Structure 1
Amino acid sequence: MRSIKCFCGACELMLKQSTPLLRQFCGCKDCAQGLRWAASKGGPKPKFLPELIYFKSDITCVRGEMFMKPYKLRKSGSSTRVYCNKCYALIGVDNPHYQDNVFLQVLGHFATDIEFSIKPSAAIFMAHHLSTQSAEILVDIPIFNSFDNPDDLHRWMTITSVRDTFKAPERPPSGRSFRELIASFESIEVLNLQVGAEPT
């Protein structure tokens, strides 16, 4: 069975379904800030444009839970990020919009034996992204600068892989969901980072 691991080997999630449901680029400030914060603690240096992978939220086995810790960037933040507190690899991210159907990972920020043949479906929140290099890699996929316009949100949700990823689960997980894993921790640490600020 395929798994997601940290880089030091302390943490591992065994997945019921290892084939990702969705892959997309994200230029949002929070994705970048979360990755930079982990890098400041010794985690991997983030790419200039993160590539997000979404896995089905069905975990059959958790190893090294005592070395995992959940964080929020700020009190008002909607996403909860779980890191290995030894090597600061990303274990996963939950957000209410995922409806506990999936959890998020970022390529290059975890170890795995899973092959990623799935191609990116979109690039989102590109208005937040300052790099001009993004135009060199985003070929033949739709680009969304923001979702302030409801028409853009609707257009994004018409992409089949996006729609299937963010729908409510059709059945309960056979193991634990990622949200249930987060709920098992005593508390979530709030980092109190200002939006877009460089972590120190």
Structure 2
Amino acid sequence: MKNTITCYCGVCALDLVDDKATCHFQCGCNSCRQKIQFGEIKGGRKTKPLPELFLMPSHLRKAKGVEHMKAYKLREDAASTQVYCTKCWAILGIDQTGYHNKIFLIFPEFCETEADLSLPLVAYIWMEDYNDSIGPAPTEDVPLFESMRYEQEYKRAFSIPEIGDTFAEPDAPITGFTFRSVVEALAEPTILGVQEQDNIFKIYS
């Protein structure tokens, strides 16, 4: 259904106020793969090596099936919290401390949505974790960032309008019902205790 993000089985749904994505990445980081792999281990869809990420405006009209949602963090000090449906293990969304309650992240290959994801790929990010043993080489002619470790990389990335605008701090605190409101309504996130270089399949399979 338009303007919604749902799990595979339909028991959980997020009704978006604005369903137009503001940024579109493919990410090579281990952490994104581990989030998806955990869902796969629990019975969700098979992981893709270079998943697509879309950033969505965080305001919601309502959330359905909150009693079937569960929050997880990969490790105690992780900046991000992912929310799964515990019936089918779709990933409904991810919040991160740096999102300022303004945006949240979705993996459209690991949920169901008819939101407006027409925005072309903006960049490949965090590719320092990616190699030929994980998957094929990236093919799109867009900027590629190994990391944001160096100031030059950071400045180049944030000079891209879609990135700079999406991640800019809001002029005033975001109020109203948002994806972060959903996360805060859930029980404290379960800590998986997975480090960045760990093989999550060996830990949880």
Q: Same fold (TM over 0.5)?
A: yes
The residue number in structure 1 matching 2:80 is 79
Shift of 1:96: 1.1
TM-score by length of 2: 0.91
2:136 equivalent among 133, 138, 146: 133
Superposition pairs for residues 94-133 of structure 1, below 5 Å? 94-131=95-132, 133=136
- Pair 1:67–1:134, CA change in 2 (3 A): same
- Checking the alignment, whether the CA contact within 8 Å between 1:7 and 1:111 is kept in structure 2 is yes
- Checking the alignment, whether the CA contact within 8 Å between 1:49 and 1:134 is kept in structure 2 is no
SS in 2 for 1:179: helix
CA distance in 2, matches of 1:8, 1:40: 17
CA distance in 1, matches of 2:99, 2:106: 13
CA distance in 2, matches of 1:141, 1:153: 16
CA distance in 1, matches of 2:184, 2:155: 31
- Checking the alignment, whether the CA contact within 8 Å between 1:26 and 1:50 is kept in structure 2 is yes
SS in 2 for 1:94: strand
The residue number in structure 1 matching 2:64 is 63
Give aligned-pair identity as a percent. Answer: 32
Q: What residue identity is the alignment partner of 2:22? A: L
Structure 2 portions without partners, runs of 5+: none
SS in 1 for 2:71: strand
Q: What residue identity is the alignment partner of 2:98? A: H
The residue number in structure 2 matching 1:186 is 187
**CA offset digits 1:21-47 (Å, max 9, x no partner):** 000111011001111111000111121
- Checking the alignment, whether the CA contact within 8 Å between 2:122 and 2:142 is kept in structure 1 is yes
SS in 2 for 1:134: coil
SS in 1 for 2:137: helix
CA distance in 2, matches of 1:99, 1:195: 24
- Checking the alignment, whether the CA contact within 8 Å between 1:100 and 1:168 is kept in structure 2 is no
Superposition pairs for residues 1-200 of structure 1, below 5 Å? 2-131=3-132, 133-135=136-138, 137=139, 139-170=140-171, 175-199=176-200, 200=204
- Checking the alignment, whether the CA contact within 8 Å between 2:128 and 2:146 is kept in structure 1 is yes
Q: What residue identity is the alignment partner of 2:182? A: L
Q: What residue identity is the alignment partner of 1:43? A: G
Shift of 1:191: 0.7
CA distance in 1, matches of 2:119, 2:87: 30
Q: What residue identity is the alignment partner of 1:44? A: R
What RMSD over aligned residues (CA atoms) do the two structures have, in Å?
Answer: 1.5
- Checking the alignment, whether the CA contact within 8 Å between 1:57 and 1:173 is kept in structure 2 is no
CA distance in 2, matches of 1:31, 1:117: 22
CA distance in 2, matches of 1:124, 1:144: 5
TM-score by length of 1: 0.93
CA distance in 2, matches of 1:172, 1:13: 22
Structure 1 portions without partners, runs of 5+: none
- Checking the alignment, whether the CA contact within 8 Å between 1:101 and 1:167 is kept in structure 2 is no
Q: What residue identity is the alignment partner of 2:33? A: A
Shift of 1:184: 1.1
**CA offset digits 1:27-78 (Å, max 9, x no partner):** 0110011111110001111211011001001011100000001100011111
